[in-house]
A and B are shown apart, each in its own frame.
Chain A
Amino acid sequence: MSTYDLNFARWVYENVDGGDKMALCMQCGTCSGSCPLGAQMDYGPRKLFMMVRAGLKDKVLESNTLWNCVSCYNCVVRCPRQVPVKYVLHSLGTAAVRAGIPAATKSDNARFARAFWWSASKLGRTDERIVTALFYFSYGLSKGFKMAMANLPVALGLVKTKRMHIGAPYMCKNKGELKTILAKAAEIEARHAK
């Protein structure tokens, strides 16, 4: 059984993007009420924040709330206490992935993010073809193939209208420079995470 545990709340306040502001949440529920996907979330942001305070760490990190945010920023501009709700949720998502929570690492979002990051960091640009392909095949060969086939008409449409090109991906010229910067940034980031 859980108990109120300020340590988790303190950790969130200090390590999560916007977490310091989350301490000011007054539980008004404006965020949950404004959220387009609020109904599909295990808990709306308001409740999730109270759960953080109550120290319900596992429930928080396993919740699908972290993955159902579509980044519409309704909550961010409406929160009367200026809590950057969207940033907090996404950053909690990062924390969940780092903690190796299966619900997080296996989420569509994490798979997509890995594919996306591969393209963004390795090529310097996102190539929609590569990102989607990597994403689809992260589910395994056969499921990935099915997903790809389902999306074939769209892809063909994009190719036909010259919105998806055929051939080598666009990429940055100075990929080495980008790689160095990102490596350094990751190193600094790790310093924080400890």
Chain B
Amino acid sequence: MSERKTGVYLCSGCGIGEAVNMAALEAVAKSEFKLEPKCHALLCGDEGVGLIRADVEGGVNQVVVGACSSRVMADRFAFNTAMTIRADLREKVIWSHPAGDEDTQMLAEDHIRMALSHAPKVKQAEPWVEGNYSQRICVLGAGVTGLSAAKEAAALGHDVLLVERSSELGGHARLGSKRLPHKPPYDAPAENDLADLIKAVEGNSKITVKTNTTVTKTAGMPGKFAVTLSCGAVEDVGAIIIATGYRPYDPSKLGHLGYGASPDVVTNTQFEEMLKAGKPSRKSNGAAVKSVAFIQCAGSRDPNHLNYCSSVCCATSLKQALEVIHADPTANCYVVYSEMRTPGVAEELYRTAQKAGVIFIKGAVKAVDGDLTVHVADELIGENVPLKGLDMVVLATGMVPNSTNPDAAAQEYGQEQLNADIDPEAPIKVAGYCGEAPATVEKRVQAQPPGGSLLNLQYRQGPHLPVLHDGFADSHYICFPYETRRTGIYTCGPVRRPMDWAEAVEDSQGAVMKAIQAVRSASAGAALHPRVGDLSFPKVNLNQCTKCRRCTVECPFGAIDEDEKEYPQFNATRCRRCGTCMGACPVRTISFDNYSVEMLTTQIKAVKIPDEFSGKPRILIIACENDAIPALDMAAIKRHGWSAHVRILSVRCLGSVSLLCISDALSVGYDGVMLMGCKPGDDYQCHFVKGSAMAAERLSKIGETLKSMMLEPERVAQVEVSIADGERIAGVINTFVDQITAIGFNPFKGF
């Protein structure tokens, strides 16, 4: 990088000029940083931006803008040949604090100090780009989901490698009768149009289909995966889509619902095949089926079996009942349910079934006799009424995700994998937890689905894709549903969550979009979300590395392997730029061009700490940029102000917060430190999956250290906030400030 030339630009618009003393702000830059700031009354306007641009053209390569929050006007203040650093004077200063106030002025000046102090350390990020990249997408599983994904990816111009374990394409849909309604008016079973989908895939020259094939090994990283197939071939692909679907719940475990008591007790999957073959007849004696009972939630929503709702069995039973009645209008169909779950348009099918005379019995099945008498405790009548004279009982069994290959030998999570995946259910103990501490939940064993891994990842963190406790592949449910915790590998269809055909098709499209984004970003050296387009990546100085392995264990995305000498080996395109490795490293030797522990501590130390006689405490809030910072901005927009004694430091993820940040803050005289980030746990909202959990884990160990420093553990706390907490967040801050004030000033102040 050529010689650094920094320009400072202050905006007095949006009321900033009226609320704070601009001249004093300029003076900070001049006297403390020897920089000559330029002030404008509307910096984001054409004239203001023109002013900056002229300087940039004249050689300024670092622009520090003191104006609004970094979350707004980013495009206005973006310049090709200069990097931009923002100091927020609007949202987190004048919109959240009283105008013309001494404390507000101190806050604004500190924001300028924080920005300018670390600016000299920030470098323009240079991307990691090396060697060849593949744009090809591998799709695993050729059921409806996989076929749709292949078709979609090919339509968008990408070559596809479609790998199917069995000898035929189509998965469950191949054996099924009609499909659930998927177009208006959504009120009747629809034709099974799988053949069209198969034809579209088979006739597409961009798609290579491999049947009777599995993946035996996967190495590399996004843009550079090497996938070894069971036939021995090694294929280069850029991204992988897992569309391995589901398997029906094992009915041999459903003896309490009559399975095995009579050949005429069948599963919905078996019944589907019977319907496909034509008018169903009794297995026991070949007689026509005139009277059928469907038993819902067979094995689902049952703590002894599958804990979750399989989501499609209600609609499937409705469809099957209608198929029975369409074939024989005099047939009697009963559906025994505890709740009929027909969200959205599936309600139309429910109505059709009601109109067609299907009887719905709300209640629990107590027993199913060998003569097919179903004993129901009818909740709506409040009586036990046996259901007699049935020809067939259909168990609406649920879906078990194929997040592993059930046919392959089990590959256990190694001990290290367990270390890496901190138990998502573990209660989080933080030194001084502020606000409502999360309820302590009973520790559950991390799910280890049976069977071998699908991809056999050659990753330091093990061969499996991490799964949630119900066995579905882990993904960020709210923000990034298709993401797994292995970058460049996406799940869609029932392996991700129970879903029907139409939903799976839609899901496959989502995953394809993500896969395409992954291959394209990889070859540009750019990050995927949430830091989309970020060109920085972690760099390690191996001279200082102690081989402690914290980084390789803690990376939420398995981005870091270990080389023969046990040094960390970064796979740049697997990295999501959270900085969790940076926060983990005890010797702080991991950093990014534009983000490092040093940059953070410099900002922390740049704040002027008033002495204890001023009566003004200083509290550091380390806030995650993904949810906490936006929530603070929302609070500011609504003018829910908070204490002016607080200084806010924005970080990529709480995972990137080194304990050094906290000890530095306390040693320079801050009276308290609060970490503000997303919800950890199995239902995490952390944008980097484990970042906030890691922070909590690290914080849980700081209590003893604080005590040994003669400091109260309550001075350090972590709170969960979500992006929707704009109403609550000011109160959370003020409560913490009160708590710290009650404890008293940090004895190290001015030390």
Contacts and interface: CB of A to CB of B under 8 A. Distances in A.
A151 interface: no
A54 B357 contact: no
Given A4-B361, A47-B380, A54-B378, A23 B386 contact: no
B255 interface: no
B387 A47 contact: no
A3 B381 contact: no
Contacts of A47: 380-381
A27 B380 contact: yes
A53 B387 CA distance: 12
Nearest to B291: A6
A2 interface: yes
Contacts of A23: 354-355, 357
Nearest to B388: A3
B351 interface: yes
Contact of B387 (A3, A24, A46, A50): A3
Contacts of B359: 4, 6, 9, 53-54
Contact of A9 (B291, B357, B385, B386): B357
Contacts of A46: 380
A6 B293 CA distance: 12
Given A3-B385, A4-B361, A4-B385, A24 B355 contact: yes
* Interface band, chain B: 10 to 19
Contacts of A56: 381, 385
Nearest to B382: A47
A51 interface: yes
A83 B360 CA distance: 16
B387 A4 contact: yes
Chain B binding surface SS class: strand
B334 A10 contact: no
Contact of B386 (A3, A10, A26, A51): A3
A13 B354 CA distance: 11
A103 to B, nearest CB: 19
B387 to A, nearest CB: 5
A190 interface: no
B296 to A, nearest CB: 15
Interface string B595-629: 00000000000000000000000000000000000
A150 interface: no
Contacts of A13: 357
B385 A6 contact: no
Contacts of A2: 385
B429 interface: no
Contacts of B550: none
B389 interface: yes
Interface string A9-34: 11001000000100111110000000
B334 A4 contact: yes
A9 B356 CA distance: 12
A56 to B, nearest CB: 8
Given A1-B386, A24-B351, A6 B357 contact: yes
* From B359, B362, B387, residue with most partner A Cβ within 10 Å: B359
Contacts of B658: none
B381 A51 contact: yes
* From A13, A26, A46, A47, residue with most partner B Cβ within 10 Å: A26
Contacts of A10: 357
Contacts of B381: 47, 50-51, 54, 56
Nearest to A53: B359
A27 to B, nearest CB: 6
Nearest to A21: B355
B385 A54 contact: yes
B487 interface: no
B324 to A, nearest CB: 13
A50 B386 contact: no
B332 interface: yes
Interface string B392-430: 000000000000000000000000000000000000000
Contacts of B378: 50, 54
Contacts of B389: 3
* From A6, A25, A56, residue with most partner B Cβ within 10 Å: A6
A50 B357 contact: no
A24 B354 contact: yes
Interface of B: 291, 332, 334, 351, 354-355, 357, 359-362, 378, 380-381, 385-389
Given A13-B357, A51-B381, 9 more contacts: A2-B385, A3-B388, A4-B334, A6-B291, A27-B360, A46-B380, A50-B381, A53-B360, A54-B359
Q: Which 10 A-B pairs have the closest CB atoms?
A: A6-B332, A50-B380, A3-B388, A4-B387, A53-B359, A24-B354, A23-B354, A3-B386, A50-B381, A54-B385
18 contacts: A2-B385, A3-B385, A3-B388, A4-B361, A4-B388, A6-B291, A9-B357, A9-B359, A24-B354, A27-B380, A46-B380, A47-B380, A50-B381, A51-B381, A53-B360, A54-B359, A54-B378, A54-B385
